[in-house]
Amino acid sequence: MQSTKPPRPIGVTIIAILAIATAVIGLTFGALLITGSALLASIGLFGVGGILAGIMLVFAGIVMFIAFLWLLVGWGFLNGKGWARTLGLIFSFLGVLFAIVLVASGSYPAIVGLLIWGLTIYYLFTGPVKTFFASGPGGNPSLANPTKTNRPSFSPTSFAGPSVAGTSTGSWGTSRTNTPQTSTSHASSNTARFCNNCGATIGQGLTKCSSCGAPL
The 10 Å Cβ neighbour count of residue 170 is 12
Q: Which domain holds residue 63?
A: 7-79
In a domain, 215, yes or no: no
Tens of pLDDT, residues 77-94: 999 999 999 999 999 999
Q: How many domains does the chain have?
A: 1
Lowest mean pLDDT among 9-13, 70-74, 180-184: 180-184
Q: Which residue has the higher pLDDT, 188 or 150?
A: 150
Residue 191 maps to a domain: no
Query: Across the strands, what pairs with 167?
Result: 177
**205 occurs within a structural domain:** no
Q: Give the range among 35-39, 70-74, 212-216 with minimum mean pLDDT.
A: 212-216
Its pTM surpasses 0.75: no
In a domain, 56, yes or no: yes
Residue 150: pLDDT band by 50, 70, 90 thresholds?
Answer: low
- Whether the CB-CB separation of 19 and 81 falls below 8 Å is answered with no
CB atoms within 10 A of CB 135: 20
Do strands 201-202 and 167-169 pair parallel, antiparallel, or not at all (unpaired)?
unpaired
- The predicted structure's pLDDT at residue 153: 54
26-48 per-position pLDDT tens digit: 999 999 999 988 888 777 666 66
Distance of CA 28 to the CA centre of its chain: 44
| Res 162 pLDDT > 50 | no
DSSP string, 126-141: SHHHHHHHHHSTTS-H
| DSSP state letters, 158-206 | GGPPPP-TTEEE-TTS-EEE-PPP-------TT--EE-TTT-PEEPTT-
Nearest to 66, CA basis, from 105, 95, 43: 95
Range among 43-52, 86-95, 206-215 with highest mean pLDDT value = 86-95
Tell me whether residue 188 is in a domain: no
- pLDDT above 70: percentage of residues in the chain: 69
Confidence of residue 151 (pLDDT cuts 50, 70, 90): low
Residue range 177-181: average pLDDT? 48
Mean pLDDT of 124-144: 73
Residue 45 lies in a domain: yes
Q: What is the largest CA-CA distance in the chain?
A: 166
Question: What confidence score (pLDDT) does residue 93 get?
Answer: 96
Q: Is residue 12 part of a domain?
A: yes
CA–CA gap between residue 8 and residue 61 (Å, rounded): 33
Alpha carbons 115 and 80: distance in angstroms, whole number = 25
Does residue 104 fall inside a structural domain? no
Buried b (16+ CB within 10 A) or exposed e, 116-132: ebeebeebbeeeebbbb
